[in-house]
Protein backbone atom coordinates (compact mmCIF):
# COMPACT_ATOMS: atom_id res chain seq x y z
CA UNK A 1 0.00 0.00 0.00
CA UNK A 2 1.05 3.59 -0.66
CA UNK A 3 1.88 5.30 2.65
CA UNK A 4 0.97 8.94 3.34
CA UNK A 5 2.35 11.08 6.17
CA UNK A 6 0.74 14.42 6.99
CA UNK A 7 3.18 16.93 8.50
CA UNK A 8 2.15 20.03 10.44
CA UNK A 9 4.80 22.65 11.21
CA UNK A 10 4.04 24.33 14.53
CA UNK A 11 5.12 26.91 17.03
CA UNK A 12 2.66 27.94 19.72
CA UNK A 13 -0.39 26.61 17.87
CA UNK A 14 -2.33 25.29 20.90
CA UNK A 15 -5.55 26.96 19.73
CA UNK A 16 -5.47 25.39 16.26
CA UNK A 17 -3.63 22.08 16.37
CA UNK A 18 -6.40 19.77 17.61
CA UNK A 19 -8.90 20.88 14.96
CA UNK A 20 -6.21 20.56 12.29
CA UNK A 21 -5.23 17.01 13.27
CA UNK A 22 -8.87 15.90 13.31
CA UNK A 23 -9.05 16.57 9.56
CA UNK A 24 -5.92 14.49 8.88
CA UNK A 25 -7.25 11.12 10.05
CA UNK A 26 -7.21 9.85 6.46
CA UNK A 27 -3.37 9.91 6.50
CA UNK A 28 -1.46 6.85 7.69
CA UNK A 29 0.58 8.97 10.06
CA UNK A 30 0.51 12.52 11.39
CA UNK A 31 3.73 14.26 12.41
CA UNK A 32 3.76 17.54 14.28
CA UNK A 33 7.13 19.11 13.49
CA UNK A 34 7.44 21.64 16.29
CA UNK A 35 9.95 24.46 16.76
CA UNK A 36 9.93 24.31 20.57
CA UNK A 37 6.52 25.76 21.38
CA UNK A 38 6.13 27.50 24.72
CA UNK A 39 2.40 26.68 24.99
CA UNK A 40 0.53 23.33 25.07
CA UNK A 41 0.92 22.55 21.35
CA UNK A 42 2.99 19.41 21.87
CA UNK A 43 0.83 17.97 24.65
CA UNK A 44 -2.37 18.55 22.68
CA UNK A 45 -0.87 17.04 19.52
CA UNK A 46 0.27 13.95 21.41
CA UNK A 47 -3.19 13.55 22.93
CA UNK A 48 -4.60 13.66 19.38
CA UNK A 49 -2.30 10.80 18.32
CA UNK A 50 0.36 12.71 16.41
CA UNK A 51 4.05 11.84 16.51
CA UNK A 52 6.24 14.72 17.68
CA UNK A 53 9.54 15.94 16.27
CA UNK A 54 11.19 19.11 17.51
CA UNK A 55 13.66 21.16 15.50
CA UNK A 56 15.05 24.65 16.02
CA UNK A 57 13.48 27.08 13.55
CA UNK A 58 15.79 28.91 11.15
CA UNK A 59 13.46 29.65 8.25
CA UNK A 60 10.45 28.05 6.58
CA UNK A 61 12.35 26.43 3.71
CA UNK A 62 14.91 24.85 6.03
CA UNK A 63 12.19 23.69 8.42
CA UNK A 64 10.24 21.94 5.66
CA UNK A 65 13.39 20.25 4.36
CA UNK A 66 14.18 19.01 7.86
CA UNK A 67 10.64 17.65 8.17
CA UNK A 68 10.98 15.87 4.82
CA UNK A 69 14.20 14.28 6.04
CA UNK A 70 12.56 13.14 9.28
CA UNK A 71 9.73 11.41 7.43
CA UNK A 72 11.64 10.10 4.41
CA UNK A 73 12.40 6.58 5.66
CA UNK A 74 8.85 5.73 6.67
CA UNK A 75 6.55 7.02 3.94
CA UNK A 76 5.98 7.31 0.19
CA UNK A 77 4.23 10.68 0.16
CA UNK A 78 4.18 13.72 2.43
CA UNK A 79 1.31 16.19 2.76
CA UNK A 80 2.28 19.50 4.37
CA UNK A 81 -0.56 21.20 6.25
CA UNK A 82 -0.37 24.35 8.38
CA UNK A 83 -2.06 24.40 11.78
CA UNK A 84 -4.63 26.94 10.57
CA UNK A 85 -5.60 24.78 7.57
CA UNK A 86 -8.22 22.04 7.25
CA UNK A 87 -8.62 19.13 4.81
CA UNK A 88 -12.21 18.18 3.93
CA UNK A 89 -13.40 14.72 2.87
CA UNK A 90 -13.48 15.54 -0.85
CA UNK A 91 -9.86 16.70 -0.85
CA UNK A 92 -8.77 13.72 1.26
CA UNK A 93 -10.30 11.31 -1.28
CA UNK A 94 -8.73 13.17 -4.19
CA UNK A 95 -5.31 13.04 -2.53
CA UNK A 96 -5.57 9.28 -2.04
CA UNK A 97 -6.54 8.80 -5.69
CA UNK A 98 -3.78 10.98 -7.13
CA UNK A 99 -1.02 9.30 -5.10
CA UNK A 100 -1.55 6.19 -7.25
CA UNK A 101 -0.28 7.96 -10.37
CA UNK A 102 3.44 7.06 -10.65
CA UNK A 103 4.43 9.79 -13.12
CA UNK A 104 3.90 12.66 -10.66
CA UNK A 105 6.45 14.01 -8.16
CA UNK A 106 4.05 16.46 -6.54
CA UNK A 107 0.65 18.06 -6.60
CA UNK A 108 -0.39 21.65 -6.06
CA UNK A 109 -3.61 22.34 -4.19
CA UNK A 110 -5.81 25.46 -4.33
CA UNK A 111 -6.68 27.22 -1.07
CA UNK A 112 -9.83 28.94 0.12
CA UNK A 113 -8.49 31.74 2.29
CA UNK A 114 -10.73 33.12 5.01
CA UNK A 115 -9.38 36.53 6.03
CA UNK A 116 -11.19 38.29 8.88
CA UNK A 117 -13.77 35.53 8.47
CA UNK A 118 -14.44 36.38 4.79
CA UNK A 119 -13.75 33.98 1.91
CA UNK A 120 -11.38 36.08 -0.20
CA UNK A 121 -11.39 35.50 -3.97
CA UNK A 122 -9.36 38.48 -5.19
CA UNK A 123 -6.08 40.31 -4.49
CA UNK A 124 -4.00 37.15 -4.95
CA UNK A 125 -5.69 34.98 -2.34
CA UNK A 126 -7.43 32.68 -4.80
CA UNK A 127 -6.79 30.12 -6.11
CA UNK A 128 -3.51 30.53 -4.15
CA UNK A 129 -2.03 27.21 -5.32
CA UNK A 130 0.28 25.50 -2.83
CA UNK A 131 2.50 22.55 -3.78
CA UNK A 132 1.97 20.49 -0.65
CA UNK A 133 1.57 16.85 -1.72
CA UNK A 134 5.10 15.60 -2.36
CA UNK A 135 6.58 12.26 -3.36
CA UNK A 136 9.42 11.48 -0.97
CA UNK A 137 12.82 11.68 -2.63
CA UNK A 138 11.53 13.86 -5.47
CA UNK A 139 11.08 17.22 -3.70
CA UNK A 140 13.26 19.82 -1.97
CA UNK A 141 12.61 23.37 -0.79
CA UNK A 142 14.70 26.22 -2.16
CA UNK A 143 16.84 27.69 0.64
CA UNK A 144 17.18 30.92 -1.33
CA UNK A 145 13.48 31.53 -0.53
CA UNK A 146 13.38 31.48 3.29
CA UNK A 147 9.86 32.94 3.46
CA UNK A 148 7.00 32.17 1.04
CA UNK A 149 9.09 29.14 0.27
CA UNK A 150 9.04 27.27 -3.04
CA UNK A 151 9.62 23.58 -3.71
CA UNK A 152 11.64 22.07 -6.55
CA UNK A 153 10.32 18.80 -7.95
CA UNK A 154 12.20 16.05 -9.77
CA UNK A 155 9.28 15.01 -11.93
CA UNK A 156 5.90 16.18 -13.11
CA UNK A 157 3.54 18.37 -11.08
CA UNK A 158 -0.22 18.01 -11.16
CA UNK A 159 -3.06 20.20 -9.89
CA UNK A 160 -5.82 19.05 -7.57
CA UNK A 161 -9.37 20.36 -7.84
CA UNK A 162 -10.59 20.46 -4.23
CA UNK A 163 -9.25 23.25 -1.98
CA UNK A 164 -7.52 23.39 1.36
CA UNK A 165 -9.53 25.51 3.80
CA UNK A 166 -7.28 28.17 5.32
CA UNK A 167 -8.24 30.34 8.30
CA UNK A 168 -5.18 32.51 8.06
CA UNK A 169 -5.98 35.91 9.63
CA UNK A 170 -8.44 36.29 12.50
CA UNK A 171 -8.51 40.08 12.62
CA UNK A 172 -6.57 43.20 11.67
CA UNK A 173 -4.13 42.91 14.59
CA UNK A 174 -3.32 39.30 13.66
CA UNK A 175 -2.78 40.32 10.01
CA UNK A 176 -0.40 43.17 10.89
CA UNK A 177 1.52 41.03 13.38
CA UNK A 178 2.06 38.25 10.85
CA UNK A 179 3.03 40.60 8.03
CA UNK A 180 5.48 42.31 10.36
CA UNK A 181 7.26 38.99 10.86
CA UNK A 182 7.29 38.36 7.12
CA UNK A 183 8.70 41.86 6.53
CA UNK A 184 11.49 41.26 9.02
CA UNK A 185 12.49 38.02 7.31
CA UNK A 186 12.33 39.63 3.86
CA UNK A 187 14.41 42.62 4.98
CA UNK A 188 17.01 40.34 6.51
CA UNK A 189 17.23 38.34 3.29
CA UNK A 190 17.68 41.51 1.17
CA UNK A 191 20.32 42.77 3.60
CA UNK A 192 22.28 39.52 3.31
CA UNK A 193 22.22 39.94 -0.47
CA UNK A 194 23.77 43.39 -0.11
CA UNK A 195 20.66 45.21 -1.38
CA UNK A 196 20.06 48.73 -0.04
CA UNK A 197 16.78 50.63 0.15
CA UNK A 198 16.58 53.46 -2.35
CA UNK A 199 14.37 56.53 -1.77
CA UNK A 200 12.03 55.56 -4.61
CA UNK A 201 11.44 52.12 -3.05
CA UNK A 202 9.36 53.72 -0.30
CA UNK A 203 6.92 55.13 -2.87
CA UNK A 204 7.06 52.98 -5.99
CA UNK A 205 7.09 49.55 -4.37
CA UNK A 206 3.95 50.15 -2.24
CA UNK A 207 2.18 51.67 -5.26
CA UNK A 208 3.12 48.71 -7.45
CA UNK A 209 1.99 46.29 -4.79
CA UNK A 210 -1.36 48.04 -4.42
CA UNK A 211 -1.97 48.14 -8.19
CA UNK A 212 -0.96 44.51 -8.56
CA UNK A 213 -3.27 43.37 -5.75
CA UNK A 214 -6.27 45.58 -6.40
CA UNK A 215 -6.27 45.77 -10.22
CA UNK A 216 -4.15 42.99 -11.75
CA UNK A 217 -5.24 40.35 -9.21
CA UNK A 218 -8.77 41.79 -9.12
CA UNK A 219 -8.96 42.70 -5.46
CA UNK A 220 -11.79 45.03 -6.49
CA UNK A 221 -14.03 41.95 -6.73
CA UNK A 222 -14.06 41.83 -2.93
CA UNK A 223 -15.00 45.53 -2.74
CA UNK A 224 -14.09 47.17 0.59
CA UNK A 225 -12.51 43.94 1.82
CA UNK A 226 -10.26 43.76 -1.26
CA UNK A 227 -9.38 47.45 -1.02
CA UNK A 228 -8.34 47.09 2.61
CA UNK A 229 -6.20 44.00 1.90
CA UNK A 230 -4.50 45.70 -1.04
CA UNK A 231 -3.68 48.72 1.12
CA UNK A 232 -2.38 46.48 3.89
CA UNK A 233 -0.07 44.68 1.46
CA UNK A 234 1.19 48.06 0.19
CA UNK A 235 1.96 48.85 3.82
CA UNK A 236 3.92 45.58 4.04
CA UNK A 237 6.13 46.70 1.13
CA UNK A 238 6.80 50.03 2.80
CA UNK A 239 7.59 48.34 6.08
CA UNK A 240 9.98 45.86 4.40
CA UNK A 241 12.12 48.66 2.99
CA UNK A 242 11.90 50.60 6.24
CA UNK A 243 13.34 47.61 8.11
CA UNK A 244 15.99 47.12 5.42
CA UNK A 245 17.08 50.76 5.71
CA UNK A 246 17.26 50.42 9.50
CA UNK A 247 19.60 47.42 9.15
CA UNK A 248 21.99 49.42 6.98
CA UNK A 249 21.85 52.37 9.39
CA UNK A 250 22.76 50.13 12.31
CA UNK A 251 25.66 48.71 10.33
Domain harbouring 114, CATH code: 3.90.550.10
pLDDT of amino acid 136? 96
Give 82-97 pLDDT, tens digit per residue. 999 999 999 999 999 9
pLDDT of amino acid 147? 66
Q: Please choose, from the candidates 96, 104, 102, 167, the residue with its C-alpha nearest in 3D space to the C-alpha of residue 131.
A: 104
Which of 143, 168, 193 delimits the end of a domain?
Answer: 168
| Boundaries of domain holding 162 | 4-168
pLDDT of amino acid 48? 97
Answer yes or no: do 69 and 50 share one domain: yes
Answer yes or no: do 152 and 239 share one domain: no
Which of 141, 168, 195 delimits the end of a domain?
Answer: 168
pLDDT of amino acid 36? 96
Answer yes or no: do 23 and 125 share one domain: yes
The whole-angstrom separation of Cα 69 and Cα 58 is 16
Which of 168, 194, 220 delimits the end of a domain?
Answer: 168
> Does the predicted model carry a pTM greater than 0.75?
yes
What is the 3-state composition of the chain as percent helix, strand, coil, each rounded to the nearest 5? 40, 25, 35
Answer yes or no: do 157 and 213 share one domain: no
State the sign of the Cα–Cα–Cα–Cα dihedral 34, 37, 43, 47. negative
Domain count, the chain: 2
Answer yes or no: do 29 and 114 share one domain: yes
pLDDT of amino acid 145? 73
* Residues of the chain scoring pLDDT < 50: none
Answer yes or no: do 31 and 145 share one domain: yes
Amino acid sequence: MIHLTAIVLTRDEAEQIADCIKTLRFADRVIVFDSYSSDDTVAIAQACGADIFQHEFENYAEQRNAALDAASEMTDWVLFVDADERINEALAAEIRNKMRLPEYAGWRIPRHNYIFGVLTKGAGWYPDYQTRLLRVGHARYDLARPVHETVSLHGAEGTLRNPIIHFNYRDLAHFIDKQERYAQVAARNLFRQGIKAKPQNFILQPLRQFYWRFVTLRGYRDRWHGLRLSLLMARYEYRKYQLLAARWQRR
